[in-house]
Amino acid sequence: MPKRTPLILRTWLLGTWLFSWVIVALSKYLHRRMGADPERFPERLGHCGSPQANDVIWFHAASLGEVMQIGPLAEYLARTRQADILVTTTTAAGADWVARAMPYASHRYVPIDTPAAVKRFLENWPISAALFVEGDLWPRLVREVHNRGIPQILLNARDSRTRARVPAVFASLLAPFSLITGRSQNIVDDIRKLGLDETRVHELPDLRLTLPQLIADPSVTERLSQAIGTRKLWLAASTHPADEQTVLDAHLEVLKANPEALLIVAPRHPRRGDPLNKMARGKGFAVAQRSLAESVSASTQVYIVDTLGELGGFFSLCPIVFMGGSIGSEGGHNPYEPASFNTALVYGPNVKNFRDAYAALTETGAAIQFQETAQLGAVLIDLMHSNQAETMAQAGLSFMEDSQDCLSRYVDLIEPVLEQSRATKS
């Protein structure tokens, strides 16, 4: 960090030293409240290390949204660098994802930002490089990593109002970083304005573009395709309660123009299946529910897919997809998942968590945004009665194809930092 540490950061460092016991108690309460294993709480105090003979490349990804991005990159580095991969998260959801999807990695909860916890954590792991995803930068942790000569990398930096409000704080936090990548030129420009060396800040495509296409099980899609036939079809994917009222109302409009149309709804959380069924029947729809083994028939108007791991198949079936989480306060969900299939993308007014991704797809002609919920039905009808959906789908596929080398571009920037770290240690 720069010699002149801003007052806010100095206050934080002092406060977390003086009141570390309070932070420990609060952290323990929050750990239990999120449903994390109580026996794993010592990890947040820096315990449960695993000193290895190999170097450890450490990824910190605060929660599920961040940790889902790192799989291809982490797996590549584990394979080519002969290094052990450590992933830390703040949330239990992130921990569960690592356990399921990253069998080659070790997971620990990130240490709380107190002197004892940070020191213990760094002494327990032979870290050769620290890679932070999007943000979640803790002042003491960043400072102590730097003091130990461990190179730090910030991947996929996002828009941040806080960064704009307190630029001196972020200038101090980011000063020790060897490499920073931002997913748009605006983000890169904002970070460079903090006074950082321009050669360390690079624009790269969204890290999520390195993720493989979701699996589409032919045994599922072929049966459904036969049952659906030539009917007009659209999918509402990853929906939340705030989306579902709008989605069902929009389908009422669609049915007026296309009486045979079918809506497939895949709620973000399968437990939404029963309430969604009740809501749809209350509006007069003929409903089938996948978790109840109910099949799509000629009379089905709404098909509720309240299952896990099948979304890729439904993306491949549907020419038009509304992405949920974009009407309420959730902030949207990953639009690259449907864009890699032959589908037109429609989304609502609130996509703050994926603003750059949606903006890029909209600019390329692959997506349409509506601002008022009452507009969704009209947008869908227009797409169903024109060639626009096909044009949008092709634009989405082209966008995704142009991003095929995304992982190699990340590797090309990261590997020199890792080589420098290895040379320094040897």
Q: Looking at residue 256, which CATH number applies to its domain?
A: 3.40.50.2000
Are both 144 and 74 inside the same structural domain?
A: yes
Please report the pLDDT score of residue 125 as a whole number: 94
Query: In whole angstroms, how far apart are CA 300 and each of 110, 219, 224, 225, 309?
Result: 48, 21, 12, 14, 23
Q: Which among 340, 334, 341 is positioned nearest to 357, based on CA atoms?
A: 334
Residue 16 lies in a domain: no
Please report the pLDDT score of residue 51 as a whole number: 63
Please report the pLDDT score of residue 116 as a whole number: 97
Residue 13 lies in a domain: no
Residue 10 lies in a domain: no
Please report the pLDDT score of residue 52 as a whole number: 66
**Other residues' Cβ atoms within 10 Å of the Cβ of residue 269:** 12
Are both 233 and 192 inside the same structural domain?
A: no
Residue 22 lies in a domain: no
Are both 293 and 183 inside the same structural domain?
A: no
CA 417 to CA 7: how far, in whole Å?
31
Task: Provide the token pair at 126.
Answer: 């032979």
Are both 112 and 152 inside the same structural domain?
A: yes
CA 275 to CA 297: how far, in whole Å?
21
pLDDT tens sequence across 130-141: 999 998 899 999
Please report the pLDDT score of residue 421 as a whole number: 73
Are both 190 and 283 inside the same structural domain?
A: no
Residue 21 lies in a domain: no
CA 284 to CA 364: how far, in whole Å?
38
Q: Looking at residue 165, which CATH number applies to its domain?
A: 3.40.50.11720
Reported as type and span, the H/E element at residue 242 is helix 241-257
**What's the domain range around 39?**
35-205+405-425
Residue 19 lies in a domain: no
Are both 312 and 235 inside the same structural domain?
A: yes
Are both 116 and 225 inside the same structural domain?
A: no
Torsion sign, CA atoms 54, 59, 65, 70 = negative
Does 422 score more than 80 pLDDT? no
Are both 139 and 104 inside the same structural domain?
A: yes
Please report the pLDDT score of residue 338 as a whole number: 96
pLDDT tens sequence across 183-235: 889 999 999 999 999 999 999 999 999 998 998 988 888 989 999 999 999 99
Does 3 score more than 60 pLDDT? no
Are both 393 and 270 inside the same structural domain?
A: yes
The predicted model scores a pTM of 0.86
Q: What is the mean pLDDT of residues 121-145?
A: 95
Please report the pLDDT score of residue 369 as a whole number: 97
Confidence of residue 144 (pLDDT cuts 50, 70, 90): very high
Mean pLDDT of the chain: 93
Are both 140 and 231 inside the same structural domain?
A: no
Are both 138 and 194 inside the same structural domain?
A: yes
Residue 210 lies in a domain: no
Please report the pLDDT score of residue 308 as a whole number: 86
Does 252 score more than 70 pLDDT? yes
Q: What is the mean pLDDT of residues 326-350?
A: 95
Of residues 386 and 53, the one with the higher pLDDT is: 386
Give the count of domains, the chain.
2
Are both 118 and 94 inside the same structural domain?
A: yes
Answer yes or no: are the C-beta atoms of 262 and 296 closer than 8 Å. Answer: yes
Does 316 score more than 70 pLDDT? yes
pLDDT tens sequence across 361-401: 999 999 999 999 999 999 999 999 999 999 999 999 999 99
Residue 9 lies in a domain: no
Answer yes or no: are the C-beta atoms of 216 and 313 closer than 8 Å. Answer: yes
Does 1 score more than 50 pLDDT? no
Q: Which among 131, 66, 63 is positioned nearest to 92, based on CA atoms?
A: 63
CA 325 to CA 313: how far, in whole Å?
20
Please report the pLDDT score of residue 164 as a whole number: 84
